[in-house]
Amino acid sequence: MKSVIALLQFCTSLPLGRPVDFEHFARRSYIYPLAGYVIGGIAAGITYWIASPMVGAAVALAAVLVLSGCNHFDGLLDFGDGLMAHGSQEKRIAAMTDRTTGAGAVAAGIVVTLLAFAGLQSTAHLPAAILTAEVCAKVAMSWLTTLGVPFREGIHSYLHGFAKPWFIVPTTLLALPLFLLPVPGTSIVLALAGTAVIAALMLLLSRRLFSGVNGDVVGAANEIVRAGVILLLALA
């Protein structure tokens, strides 16, 4: 339970009492999807009672951002700055890790949020879509934590130091309860496949642009995978 509490204290803004030693989660980062079930489950429960697809989509996105403390969204903004910077790897890393917010950050935040908002309005079952997308987003975070070689010291390098290659297996297995949702099984398969593709692309892009992965890249993956999975579910 200490691992789960440490995970939720890291991934959510929920009031969970006295801080638990972060190492409890670091040694078991494969439990990332559990945070997806909590955040996505709360958002799904709220939107279940909203009849309007537009209002439901807005509330669902607001809920997941507030519940996560916008922690991963901040990573998306930093990643956007690094992605749009010109020049060497050092310049891109400097743009991603400084404290200013540039045009790349604004563009990344707007594009990803708009895609997720539009996709949620078109899904057949909005509560199931936001829950699925949030769990898949955390699966991607776990995969990048395990496979992403760090290029600097930080939270990601700390988590990566404890991660083992076999973490990928239990992380993936924790996504299987999604097949119990009231949506076609093929949609869940498509969501997990899309998660794998986006995570792989994030790894390749980060290695090329930044020579590795940091916490901003992992946080950005959470936001991008959520939007990508929502779009896939809408199209399916």
pLDDT in tens, 179-203: 999 999 999 999 999 999 999 999 9
pLDDT above 90 for 16: no
Q: Confirm if 225 and 195 have CB atoms less than 8 A apart.
A: yes
**What's the whole-number mean pLDDT along residues 149-154?**
91
Q: What whole-number distance in Å separates Cα of residue 152 and Cα of residue 210?
A: 10
pLDDT above 90 for 124: no
Q: What are the backbone dihedrals phi and psi of residue 232, each rounded to the nearest 5 degrees, phi first?
A: -60, -45
Amino acid (1-letter code) at residue 119: G
**What's the whole-number mean pLDDT along residues 71-75?**
90
Query: In terms of Cα–Cα distance, which of 174, 204, 209, 228 is closest to 97?
Result: 209
The residues that bridge with 150 in the sheet, in sequence order, are 213
**pLDDT tens profile 76-103:** 999 999 988 888 888 898 888 887 788 8
Predicted pLDDT at 133: 97
Domain boundaries, the chain: 2-235
**Residue 165 has what DSSP assignment?**
G
State which of 20-24, 49-53, 94-98, 175-179 shows the largest mean pLDDT: 175-179
Average pLDDT, the chain: 93
Q: Confirm if 147 and 207 have CB atoms less than 8 A apart.
A: no
Considering only the C-alpha atoms of the chain, give the largest distance between any 2 of them, rounded to a whole number of Å.
Answer: 50
Q: What whole-number distance in Å separates Cα of residue 216 and Cα of residue 206?
A: 10
Q: Confirm if 131 and 43 have CB atoms less than 8 A apart.
A: yes
CB atoms within 10 A of CB 182: 8
Local structure of 124: helix, strand or coil: coil
**Distant-in-sequence contacts of 80-84, Cβ < 8 A, 24+ apart:** 80/104, 80/105, 80/106, 80/107, 80/108, 80/109, 80/220, 81/105, 81/108, 82/209, 82/210, 82/216, 83/108, 83/205, 83/209
Predicted pLDDT at 71: 87
Predicted pLDDT at 88: 83
